[in-house]
Structure 1
Amino acid sequence: MMTLTRMCRMGCIGVASAALLAACSQNAGDMQKGSGDDANPAPAPSFSEPVTLHYYTNDNTKWLELEQKLIAKKYPNVTLKVTQEKELKMDQLVTVGDIPDFLSFSLGSFWDLKNYGLISDMTPLMKKYRFDENRFLPGVMESVRSYSDRGEMLLLPFELNSNVLFYNKTIFDKFGVAYPRDGMTWEQISDLARKVSRKEEGTEYKGFIFQHQNLVWKNQLGLPFVDPKTNKAATNTPEWKRWLDVMGGFYFLPNNDYKNLSFYKEQTVAMWTGANIVSSVVEAASSTGLNWDVVTLPQFTDNPSGGTQMIAPFYAIPPGSKHKDEAFQLISYLLSEEVQTAKARQGKVPIVDSPAATQGYAADLPGVSGKNMGAFLKDKIGKPAVVTKYDGIAKDVFYKTALGKDFYSGTKDVNTILREVEEEINRKIKEAPQ
């Protein structure tokens, strides 16, 4: 991902929202042109005639509201008919035949959408509208292509689920331990966690806890979950044992046994990582006085992937869409610098290589002044692991079983756990629709 030397200093965050968005609007057209030139410009969306586009999504947050607001302002002739997954499940959607024109979902839903016939190759549309792949950060398009063995463009991601290490400064101060810093390894974090994991005056302080599902999906070592040649589990290996020894090893530190605790609610966890919870942390700091900061996500020593696996929600177009061209042009706008900057200012990590978006990151969030927010922009996308249609099954089994109660309670050793994970993955793959 982009380094801080390529960004303006985070002091630029103070730029007024209106002024920055105005600047972004001037640049957005350049990003949408793609590889067109003055002699042969890319077709530009006009939306001169009213059109209704059916938008299917599993997002039900303020981000959906922001998208709708931006689209309404940019293209007043476009009406979005929004269907949320909580209202109509995928199988129900297909059964009633109400095929959406485009959709957005979290990456974990990709294979379900594909199995239901709601994903199509967008390569022809990208060529037609000269969509510039170079707008994305390094590693994004390589990761996208890994989801097809035929080079298809089946998804276009729109933000990064970048990880950082959140830490509670109050706990470190209480025990006189130095704060974590950018660029640390998991082994170094283990040493820190050991120093702040203790029971004091009836309160248990945990040195480090992580969201299991998130870090399994991030898969920093870039390891395969399923062998694409045999469609069998590829998790009972020395490499996965190393991952489990390091990450699971945190729960065997004195006083750091696993408990499902919130970083910002109980405030007894010194360090935590997982999905981006900066909005919740900011709210907790405002109401409870949580004294927090962040550093870059720790790395494995000699990480062969060079980063983390891309986890990114994405846009896609079903083959049955009645308005593919209009839908793609709208997606292109949603991936423009203008929209990426607007979301970045509210804490969403941009997926485009845009100085405006990175300079304005988290600018509209209260209480982040003086925080190391640039850490969110340093979580590099690593070389993608081999992807198969059974990865969702394997990842689900791995984080629930390999990091489950039998493991962290010490009931079973690592070798037994990995063997059982392998057996469970293979069983579920055999039972899955072929």
Structure 2
Amino acid sequence: MRHGLWKQSGILLATAAIALSGCSSSGGTTKPAEDSSAPPKISNEPVTIKLAGSRGIFSDEELKLYITDPLAKKYPNITVQYINTSEKGFGLNELVTAGDIPDIVMGYGGTLPQLKDLNLLYNMDPLIKKYNLDLNRIIPEFLDYIKVNGRSDYLGGLPAYNNAFALFYNKGLFDKFAVPYPKDGMTWEEVGDLGKKITRSFDGIQYRGFFPDGVARMAAQINLYQMDKDNKSIMATEPWKKAFELWDNVYNYPGNSDEPFNTINFGNNQTAFLKGELAMITGYSSTLNALRKAPDVNWDVVTYPQHKDKMGYGTGVDTPNFSITSSSKNKDAAFLVIETLLSDDVQLNMAKNGKVSVLSNDTVKKEFGKSIPEFAGKNYNLSSIPKLKPSVNQPPIYTGGDTNKIVIDAYESVLKKQADINTALRLADEQMNTLVQSKIKLEK
């Protein structure tokens, strides 16, 4: 065991552990009592749980706020040792190679098939039942997302929070040009029309109406896939043509998508929004955090634009999951770490501080953002952010960053007037098939 490795990589979170009464010294558990309705007994034996994940999921402060502190109160004998997988040499594959396999891995959807390939994806259903965790409290799409990405009929993880998207708008620009504010429940077309009313050159400044981010966001919203079940590209089809035409309607017009905004660059557009030169942007927690540092921006937020054929849904599920590894010798203790994270108190605290809860509890949704100090006394419509249901996509086996880049490049070729929509999609279709076939050959 590389003890020095853990000291260098992780932060020791002062917390505490549990183990089932009757656990062996190696962490194995005894058979459950015959009376399955009785709550499981928990001993005071100390145990350390190794938690591995990217620093981007939880900061040091958030680890303390949402894991360390509440766990210390509830189970004062569990200690959590954190490993930052973003550090060089500490990626999941490298930890496995070194024999330093964590008890819990936190990561997004792509982590689940990775765990499965490493034979580490663990069926958490028995522990969920054993500890009477009520899954009805959790928004069902988050649970579906875990099964879909793990390609399993069981839960190989549980969700922590959701990076929900919404429509942020600059009230000052709408007031300046006497255009009515956006409102909850608008479609892409309606938001696009508002953007066109704002877009103009005025007093030497080019004001832009709307940045919708990449077309892949909307594709996820309506479950529009890049490939069919046989891993053949379906980019050159009518649904994708309609998607590109919709994006052209809401974004690609003179004054709004001129250079340097003829690429899909979220950071540049968020900067323009904060400068007061862009009226609307579909943002998420990054935008919320940026606005905390921009007190002079007169802004508000409404629900994410909806597709007229799928009303009530935002973009795809975007949640980090906590998965117990199959090799963990402290599965019960690990489960109680996750159970604590999903408790009403912790989820409410997360929501108040700007992380969208995975609970279906309406009270939790209404409290979203209310403890963010910079927004105190403001009447922002923050409860709109978690209002819509997330969409769940069934990703084809070969979907990833490289296939998504083909979609992005295809639309940018249209933005840059290098190709019309039909040509861009035909080329994307060819590139997608070539890429997937190369991956299939590598596997043989």
CA-based RMSD of the aligned residues comes to 2.5
**Equivalent residue in structure 2 for 1:139, among 138, 141, 155:** 141
Paired residue secondary structure (2:105):
strand
Q: Which piece of structure 1 moves more, 143-152 or 74-83?
A: 143-152
Q: Which has the higher contact order (CA 8 A, sep 6+)?
A: 1
State the shift of 1:136 in Å: 0.7
What corresponds to 2:224 in structure 1?
A: 223
Matched, 1:255 2:255: yes
Are the counterparts in 1 of residues 274 and 297 from structure 2 also a CA contact under 8 Å? no
State the shift of 1:398 in Å: 4.3
Once residues 128 and 195 of structure 2 are traced to their aligned partners in structure 1, the CA distance between those partners, rounded to angstroms, is 48
Once residues 45 and 236 of structure 1 are traced to their aligned partners in structure 2, the CA distance between those partners, rounded to angstroms, is 58
Are the counterparts in 2 of residues 111 and 389 from structure 1 also a CA contact under 8 Å? no
Once residues 45 and 85 of structure 1 are traced to their aligned partners in structure 2, the CA distance between those partners, rounded to angstroms, is 33
State the shift of 1:211 in Å: 3.0
Could you tell me the percent identity over the aligned residues?
A: 32
What corresponds to 1:285 in structure 2?
A: 294
What corresponds to 2:305 in structure 1?
A: 298
What corresponds to 2:323 in structure 1?
A: 316
Paired residue secondary structure (1:391):
coil
C-alpha change, 1:305 and 1:345, in structure 2 (3 Å) is closer
Cα deviation per residue 1:56-81 (whole Å; 9 max; x = unaligned)?
01134243332233323332211111
Q: TM-score, normalised by structure 2?
A: 0.80
What corresponds to 1:78 in structure 2?
A: 78
**Equivalent residue in structure 2 for 1:186, among 185, 188, 209:** 188
Once residues 134 and 318 of structure 1 are traced to their aligned partners in structure 2, the CA distance between those partners, rounded to angstroms, is 24
Cα deviation per residue 1:276-310 (whole Å; 9 max; x = unaligned)?
23542442332xx0111001111122228955332
What corresponds to 1:267 in structure 2?
A: 276
Once residues 170 and 304 of structure 1 are traced to their aligned partners in structure 2, the CA distance between those partners, rounded to angstroms, is 29
State the shift of 1:185 in Å: 1.1
Q: TM-score, normalised by structure 1?
A: 0.82
Matched, 1:50 2:46: yes
Cα deviation per residue 1:367-408 (whole Å; 9 max; x = unaligned)?
2631111211212123x333333222465234432333x221
Q: Whose Rg is larger?
A: 2
* Runs of at least 4 residues off by over 6 Å: none
Q: Which piece of structure 1 moves more, 346-355 or 42-51?
A: 42-51
C-alpha change, 1:359 and 1:372, in structure 2 (3 Å) is closer
What corresponds to 1:374 in structure 2?
A: 383
What corresponds to 1:11 in structure 2?
A: none
C-alpha change, 1:420 and 1:305, in structure 2 (3 Å) is farther
Matched, 1:349 2:356: yes
Cα deviation per residue 1:389-430 (whole Å; 9 max; x = unaligned)?
3222465234432333x2211111112222222222233323
State the shift of 1:138 in Å: 4.0
Once residues 261 and 242 of structure 1 are traced to their aligned partners in structure 2, the CA distance between those partners, rounded to angstroms, is 24
Q: How does 1:88-99 map to 2 (within 5 A)?
A: 88-99=90-101
What corresponds to 2:368 in structure 1?
A: 361
For structure 2, the residue ranges without an aligned partner over 5 or more in a row are 1-34, 262-267
| Letter of the structure 1 residue corresponding to residue 235 of structure 2 | T
Once residues 111 and 213 of structure 2 are traced to their aligned partners in structure 1, the CA distance between those partners, rounded to angstroms, is 19
Once residues 347 and 216 of structure 2 are traced to their aligned partners in structure 1, the CA distance between those partners, rounded to angstroms, is 23
Once residues 434 and 332 of structure 2 are traced to their aligned partners in structure 1, the CA distance between those partners, rounded to angstroms, is 42
Aligned residues: 390
Are the counterparts in 2 of residues 163 and 379 from structure 1 also a CA contact under 8 Å? no
**Equivalent residue in structure 2 for 1:328, among 310, 335, 342:** 335
| Letter of the structure 2 residue corresponding to residue 412 of structure 1 | A
Are the counterparts in 1 of residues 47 and 78 from structure 2 also a CA contact under 8 Å? yes
Are the counterparts in 2 of residues 47 and 78 from structure 1 also a CA contact under 8 Å? no
Cα deviation per residue 1:329-356 (whole Å; 9 max; x = unaligned)?
2112211112101101101111112244
Are the counterparts in 2 of residues 147 and 154 from structure 1 also a CA contact under 8 Å? no
Once residues 249 and 402 of structure 1 are traced to their aligned partners in structure 2, the CA distance between those partners, rounded to angstroms, is 16
What corresponds to 1:28 in structure 2?
A: none
Paired residue secondary structure (1:390):
coil
| Letter of the structure 1 residue corresponding to residue 435 of structure 2 | K
